[in-house]
Amino acid sequence: MPNPLYDEVRCPKNNITIVSLGQSNSANYVNKKLSSFPNNLIQYDWTTRKCFIYKEPLLGADGRGGAVITYTAMLLSSMTSHYVIVSNLGVGGSYIYDWAEGGIATKYLIALHHMKSDGLNVRVFFFHQGESDSARIVNTVNGTNQKSYYRHLNTVIKISRKFYPDSLFGVALVSICRDNIIEFQPVRNAQYLAANTIKNSFISGDSDKIQGVHNRYDSCHFSGPGAYSLGNIYFKSYSNKLFTNR
């Protein structure tokens, strides 16, 4: 069913596509929505398999606010004459298991199949997840440990590479949210290991370092300044790789 709040456009064949996935800080939870975007920046909604004029909140992810990936995409669009397409799949509160073997993994496979079939040239994935797993480890005896987190993250990357074998995969170092305000090393270590040992993967940024009420309006989710900072860090981490990875 057409969305009356978004203007549909034809998905351009000549495109650079970036995908955002993970939990809430990868979705639409920034408390400030932007309203002006470059003409060569559009979005893809994997649920309807259609492209739309860029507008926040992004289609395909949950939340009603802005998105960190918007800041990254705007920087990229200013450096290329190609169309930049953003597809956002973020799900608030999700665990690494959900993305590797749970219900979200099934939806992720469907989304990737749609993107591939519809001609989206996914060049880079940005994965921002870990807050839920860190809280689970801190607050319970059982839960995710470094080994299992790494194994699940490796599975998520393999799922992505099944459809886009030459793509880059950015892994953010993520563990802090509200009660778990201290960097939690088992999750961070697993993220670091995956980014440095799995081919064409890299550390997209250390989001745990972006702290304070100015950057996080509820001690977890990013405000405009925090999203701007992380979006710029994302861009700097992969911009050279992106243009050399064909």
pLDDT band of residue 183 (cuts 50, 70, 90) is: confident
Q: Between these two residues, 33 and 138, which has the higher pLDDT value?
A: 33
Judged against a pLDDT cut of 70, whether residue 244 lies above it is answered with no
Q: At what angle do helices 146-163 and 103-117 cross, to 10 degrees?
A: 20
Judged against a pLDDT cut of 70, whether residue 180 lies above it is answered with no
Helix extents (H) in 33-124: 68-77, 96-100, 103-117
pLDDT > 90: percent of the chain: 85
Mean pLDDT for the chain overall: 92
Q: Check residue 139 and give its pLDDT.
A: 40
Q: Check residue 141 and give its pLDDT.
A: 38
CA dihedral (117, 118, 119, 120) in degrees, to 10, reads -110
Side chain identity at 23, as an amino acid letter?
Answer: Q
Judged against a pLDDT cut of 70, whether residue 245 lies above it is answered with no
* Predicted model pTM: 0.94
Side chain identity at 233, as an amino acid letter?
Answer: I
Domains of the chain as residue ranges with CATH = 8-244 (3.40.50.1110)
Output DSSP code: residue 53.
E
Q: What distance in Å separates the CA atoms of residue 96 and residue 113, rounded to the nearest whole number?
A: 21
| Mean pLDDT on 62-72 | 98
Q: Check residue 246 and give its pLDDT.
A: 44
Q: What distance in Å separates the CA atoms of residue 99 and residue 106, rounded to the nearest whole number?
A: 8
Q: How far apart are the first and last CA of the chain?
A: 35
| Mean pLDDT on 30-39 | 96
Which residues, 6 or more positions from 119, have their beta carbon under 8 angstroms from its beta carbon?
11, 13, 15
Sign of torsion over alpha carbons 186, 190, 191, 197: positive
Q: Where are the beta strands (DSSP E) in the chain?
A: 8-9, 15-22, 41-45, 50-53, 83-88, 122-128, 168-173, 201-206
| Mean pLDDT on 165-172 | 97
Q: Check residue 145 and give its pLDDT.
A: 84
